[in-house]
Structure 1
């Protein structure tokens, strides 16, 4: 079973984006924000990342 919350290294693998690109896009409002789950721990929702990815695919197909 796939985890529902992803670490940054998993997000990098799924999206092929660098860590700095991910954080830059979060600051610009173009990428799902991370969830703080503890002291210095952040995770991303797998569902939100997959939805974001599908939106990117559809946007590139219609362009």
Structure 2
């Protein structure tokens, strides 16, 4: 299985985000709707992407919350 890397800046597609966070598509869209996850940037009528900076921040914040919960 190939290693998925997240660029420092730029945009990533939903498939990359889902692979990095290990969440389902329906969970992701529910989180976007409730404001937990960032909203997509529309590049065209059928193309939506996410800012790499926002996803990186989400990963860092999520891991910090997990460590706090586990008592680390």
Please indicate, yes or no, whether the TM-score normalized by the shorter chain is above 0.5: yes
Cα distance in 1 between the residues matched to 2:10 and 2:22: 19
TM-score by length of 1: 0.88
**Structure 2: which 5+ residue stretches go unaligned?**
1-6
- Please say if 1:34 is aligned against 2:57: no
Q: Report the structure, 1 or 2, having the larger strand content.
A: 1
Runs of 4+ in 1 over 3 A off after TM superposition: none
Cα distance in 1 between the residues matched to 2:52 and 2:25: 16
Q: Report the structure, 1 or 2, having the larger helix content.
A: 1
Shift of 1:33: 0.8
**Structure 1: which 5+ residue stretches go unaligned?**
none
